[in-house]
Each structure stands twice: as C-alpha cells, then as structure tokens.
Copies of this chain bind each other. A is one copy, B any other.
Amino acid sequence: MDNVVLLGIMAGAMTTGSIVPQVLKIVQSKSARDVSTLFFMIMAAGMLLWLIYGLLRQDFVIVLWNALSLSLTLVILTLKKVYS
C-alpha cells in the first residue's frame, strides 16, 4: 500500500471517526437541541455525492470513508428525531 493511500486512510479515520463522539454525546445527554438538523441533512447529501465522486474517480479511499460517514450521519439524524 503506498503512502498516499495510507494518508487517505488516516485522514478518513479522523474525519469519519470524529462523528462517533458526537453520537455518544447525544446518547449520553439524551439531548440534541444545539445540534443542527440542517447541518447533518446537507452533510448526508454531500457525502452521497462524494461517494459517487469516489466511484467515478475510482478512489477507493474516498468511497470507503464516505459510505461510513453517511451511515453515522444517518444515525445522528435519527437520534435528533428521537431526542428533540
């Protein structure tokens, strides 16, 4: 695996991984009042487009992380619906 792919895997682990503490914070506080629904809705739509972009550019790293991020974002939107 070349260094650029490795860097992309690290980059994605951080940007996708960063969503996890936000999920946990909402679950623990049972509150998502200050979390913007619009933020996560537009984010989800954008991630879907990045996923297609990655497929078209055959950039496996982009596809992998955007598929995962999209899933986590949908979890947050569901929690926002449940707790708001």
Q: Which residues of A contact B (CB under 8 A)?
A: 4, 7-8, 10-19, 21-22, 25-26, 29, 31-36, 38-43, 45-47, 49-50, 52-53, 56-57, 59, 61
Contacts and interface: CB of A to CB of B under 8 A. Distances in A.
Nearest to A4: B56
A36 B49 CA distance: 25
A14 B49 contact: yes
Contacts of A8: 50, 53, 57
Contacts of A21: 36, 38-39, 42
**A-B pairs with lowest CB-CB distance, top 10:** A14-B46, A11-B49, A15-B46, A18-B42, A34-B34, A18-B43, A21-B38, A22-B39, A11-B50, A22-B36
A42 to B, nearest CB: 4
A22 B21 CA distance: 17
